[in-house]
A and B are shown apart, each in its own frame.
Chain A
């Protein structure tokens, strides 16, 4: 079907004269929208805050707690080793240790070190 200009114009005026008009919006449409905007922002924050806190805790643990605890462990084992060697030296000086016990002591020292 081909159209002539007249037909175009007729159809145009017919459609424009009979344009289906939308019903009015619900009375509280603006308030609903406002609430949705506020709630979506709030949801945004309720998601971001715990997420960011979680990430921060992991970073804190990785950079501060873990190195600190390994330093503490190192210090503890150093102290333990020095105490053991001190005890051995003192025992040798005092002649409390018999020669057969010495192998156990050296084994203990090597384990500690």
Chain B
């Protein structure tokens, strides 16, 4: 690794580590978080010479991150119970009750639905960008968003988390 490579890598890390960590945090269990952040950056660095700039760097990094998360989830096929166990044994993270309930509800969704919801609501990306990141048609993004949103709403309703919204609407 030359000095200029090191500098480039440091820049890349500094400008994207929060995005990568934030996305993975809502996709996988906390015990796997640090390992997957590192795995993602290693993939980004190794893939950089082949990056053809057909999409923006941000879209490309999102794609690598989400694929790393999905690969991890498919390989390990972690059930919600295991996720819950791993997360409670992980170092303490300060989240409000509502945040914890949202995260738990997300973990109960199918990975493909979770990915779309996280990218849409938390990363605030558009349908077109999500389609490009996941390399799926826009229609599929829309249907996953629709189904995922219904399931999420149902799960949050069960926990009474949406009480706040109903009150606001009234």
Contact = CB atoms under 8 A, between A and B. Distances in A.
Contact of B42 (A8, A19, A33): A33
Give the size category of A's interface with B: 20 to 34
B21 A22 contact: yes
A26 B34 CA distance: 8
Interface of B: 1, 6, 9-10, 13, 17-18, 21-22, 24-26, 30, 33-34, 37-38, 41-42, 45, 91, 93-96, 98-100, 102-103, 121-122, 124, 149-150, 152-154, 162, 164-165, 168-169
Interface of A: 1, 3, 6-8, 10-12, 14-16, 18-23, 25-26, 29-30, 32-34, 36-38, 40-41
Given A11-B153, A11-B162, A34-B6, 9 more contacts: A3-B149, A15-B121, A16-B121, A20-B102, A21-B22, A23-B91, A25-B21, A33-B41, A34-B9
A37 B122 contact: no
A14 B164 CA distance: 9
B150 A22 contact: no
A36 B96 CA distance: 35
Nearest to B18: A22
A12 B1 contact: no
B169 A10 contact: yes
Nearest to B168: A10
Given A14-B162, A22-B21, A25-B17, A1 B154 contact: yes
A12 B103 CA distance: 15
Contacts of B1: 34, 37-38, 41
